Amino acid sequence: MVVDASEVARRLAPRLAARAGEYDRAGAFPVEDFAELRDAGLFGLMVPGRLGGVGAGFAEYVAVAYELARGNGATALVFNMHASVTGALSAVTEELAEALGVPDAALAARDKLLADAAAGSWYAVAMSERGAGSRLSQLSTVYEAVDGGYHLKGAKSFCSGAGHADAYLVAARSAADPAVVSQFLVPATLEGLHVEPTWDSLGMRATSSHDLHLDVTVGRDTLLGGVEGLALVVAQLMPHWMVASYAAVYVGVARAAVDAAVEHVTARGLAGLPAIRSRIGRAEASVAAARLVVAEAARRVDEAPGDPETNRWVWRAKLLAGTTAAEVAASMLEAAGTSATRRGHPLERLYRDARCGSLHPPTSDVCADWLGVAALGGDPDREGSAPRW
């Protein structure tokens, strides 16, 4: 059983770091990292204690993600997806379930999959689609009711952990009514589920964020919540999982970049150069600030989920984590110099990984727009000069 999850993650991080270069180079899924996460009980991080898990809140998740990302950002990013699924499901209270009309059988199914997570299963998210991005309103994957369950058909992209997860949370649109978007937890072993290895990326190369092709029939109990059409509702109720769960990962990556630069310039006797000191001083302050912002957002998510001010912190966290990571890693590479650009040097990888934070939807530009609209008294989820999702 896990006692202090972030301490556990801190102890794992150096082991992840030692393997990160190789997984990055090969663009291979960090199988060993995930075995260790499982063994350490972290798959149950967000699962309530009554189901065998740690019962962590968002703040504790954030602390764990930060520590894991100091080891390997890609591993932390895939873990984030599993945490999102289990965290969001765990956060559905009895009151909410009742309000949404969730039947008892669906709650039992939910508990089952959470208990499975605590016992060592993990889940990936298959939401994005080429063209639609992560906008639920634009999905082309459809489902229809069939005898004993549902048939799902479509293709997903950017599915982190594809080929390795035990099940996939798949968002799909009803063939009968396109306005209805539902989510299913599709077991990985099903016939008709095919991973196309498309992921070959600038950064976060070890996430195996491949394409997933679906032409599957699933049981009725795989419909999350047991009622169709809950996907958009849950997304709106828990923007932190959609907007800011990456944030902690990118702050961890940024911190790893500072640490790597300190180690590099110290080893080469460059620590006395004023320009290098200045770069490192500014970088470490930025990282400390971003970490604080992410922690504050998380604290508020736990204390006042859905509150407008909570949501603003969530968007600030996404914005600042993404911009800080990219700027810090670029500056640290410049502090360290050409020798740190060799493949295999941690900064070479961290520079590429760090660039990706601002690009995850909602991108930094979208975050700035959202926050601007909010500050100007508008409704940032509805107004704006860029599509939100």
Cis peptide before 48 (omega within 30 of 0): no
Neighbours of 259 (CB within 10 A): 17
3-class state of residue 188 by DSSP = coil
Q: Rounded to an integer, what distance in angstroms lies between the CA atom of residue 7 and that of residue 349?
A: 25
Confirm if 256 and 73 have CB atoms less than 8 A apart: yes
Q: Which of 363, 352, 365, 283 is nearest to 324 (CA)?
A: 283
Nearer to its own copies, 38 or 299 (CB): 299
Compute the least distance from the CB of residue 292 to its own copies, in Å: 5
Compute the least distance from the CB of residue 114 to its own copies, in Å: 30
Nearer to its own copies, 18 or 275 (CB): 275
Are β-strands 142-146 and 167-174 bridged in parallel, bridged antiparallel, or unpaired? parallel
Contacts from 373-380 at CB under 8 Å and sequence distance 24+?
374/308, 374/312, 374/315, 380/315
Q: Would you state the structure tokens that stand for residue 255, as one six-digit string?
A: 């911190």
Nearer to its own copies, 143 or 370 (CB): 370
Compute the least distance from the CB of residue 162 to its own copies, in Å: 15
Q: What are phi and psi of 99, to 5 degrees?
A: -60, -35
Q: Rounded to an integer, what distance in angstroms lies between the CA atom of residue 76 and that of residue 33?
A: 10
Which residues contact residue 42 at a Cβ distance below 8 angstroms, ignoring those fewer than 6 apart?
2, 5, 8, 9, 54, 64, 79
Compute the least distance from the CB of residue 144 to its own copies, in Å: 30
Which residues contact residue 303 at a Cβ distance below 8 angstroms, ignoring those fewer than 6 apart?
310
Nearer to its own copies, 174 or 363 (CB): 363
Compute the least distance from the CB of residue 27 to its own copies, in Å: 9
Instruction: Report the interhelical angle of 5-26 vs 31-39 (nearest 10°).
Output: 170
Compute the least distance from the CB of residue 164 to its own copies, in Å: 20
Confirm if 247 and 321 have CB atoms less than 8 A apart: yes
Compute the least distance from the CB of residue 126 to its own copies, in Å: 16
Contacts from 265-273 at CB under 8 Å and sequence distance 24+?
265/335, 265/336, 268/339, 270/337
Neighbours of 218 (CB within 10 A): 23
Q: Which helix (H) or strand (E) holds 373?
A: helix 364-375
Compute the least distance from the CB of residue 70 to its own copies, in Å: 15
Compute the least distance from the CB of residue 4 to its own copies, in Å: 19
Nearer to its own copies, 148 or 274 (CB): 274
Nearer to its own copies, 105 or 271 (CB): 271
Nearer to its own copies, 228 or 369 (CB): 369
Nearer to its own copies, 35 or 285 (CB): 285
| Residue 134 Cα distances to 58, 121, 140, 158, 216, angstroms | 22, 25, 12, 9, 21
Nearer to its own copies, 137 or 341 (CB): 341
Nearer to its own copies, 4 or 365 (CB): 365
Compute the least distance from the CB of residue 283 to its own copies, in Å: 8
